[in-house]
């Protein structure tokens, strides 16, 4: 699941990068460089705010990506503890097997 989340995060990163070359940004840069708007404090402030927002989004995506990696580690640790308990406790092992038979049946029914 974390790989799927990481792919989604990467697609957002890519969308932000593509946004830099989209029509709206091209037009904003054009007016910034080729008109009096390049000296207009309100327009310059707006451009600055857009840059800050893109940096904030990128920083939050990086944090999200790292959090997903941390989550993956915790999930794997949980799986490991379940396997240790399964190997140690025969009652737990029976319950584990019954649960996974039910789970696999439900998954297979949903595929149809």
C-alpha span between 59 and 56 (Å, rounded) = 5
Q: How many domains are contained in the chain? A: 1
C-alpha span between 55 and 47 (Å, rounded) = 13
Q: Where are the alpha helices (DSSP H) in 1-112?
A: 2-19, 23-34, 41-88, 90-111
User: For residue 112, what pLDDT is reported?
Assistant: 59
Top pLDDT among 112 and 9 is at 9
User: What 8-state DSSP symbol labels residue 36?
Assistant: G
Residue 15 clears pLDDT 70, i.e. is over it: yes
Residues above pLDDT 90, as percent of the chain: 65
Listed residue (24, 23, 26, 12) closest to 54, CA to CA: 12
C-beta neighbour count of 43 within 10 angstroms: 16
Mean pLDDT of 15-40: 86
**Domain containing 85: what range?**
2-111
Residue 96 clears pLDDT 90, i.e. is over it: yes
* Span 41-83, pLDDT tens digits: 999 999 999 989 989 999 999 999 999 999 999 999 999 999 9
Top pLDDT among 99 and 18 is at 99
């Amino acid at each position: 699941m974390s790989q799927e989340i990481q792919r989604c995060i990467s697609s957002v990163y890519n969308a932000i990068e593509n946004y830099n070359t989209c029509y709206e940004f091209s037009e904003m840069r054009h007016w910034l460089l080729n008109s009096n708007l390049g000296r207009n404090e309100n327009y310059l402030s707006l451009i600055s705010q857009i840059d800050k927002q893109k940096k904030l989004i990128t920083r939050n995506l990086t944090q999200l990506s790292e959090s997903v990696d941390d989550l993956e580690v915790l999930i794997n640790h949980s799986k490991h503890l379940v396997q240790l308990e399964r190997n140690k406790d025969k009652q737990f092992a029976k319950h584990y097997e019954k649960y996974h038979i039910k789970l696999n049946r439900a998954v297979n029914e949903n595929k149809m």
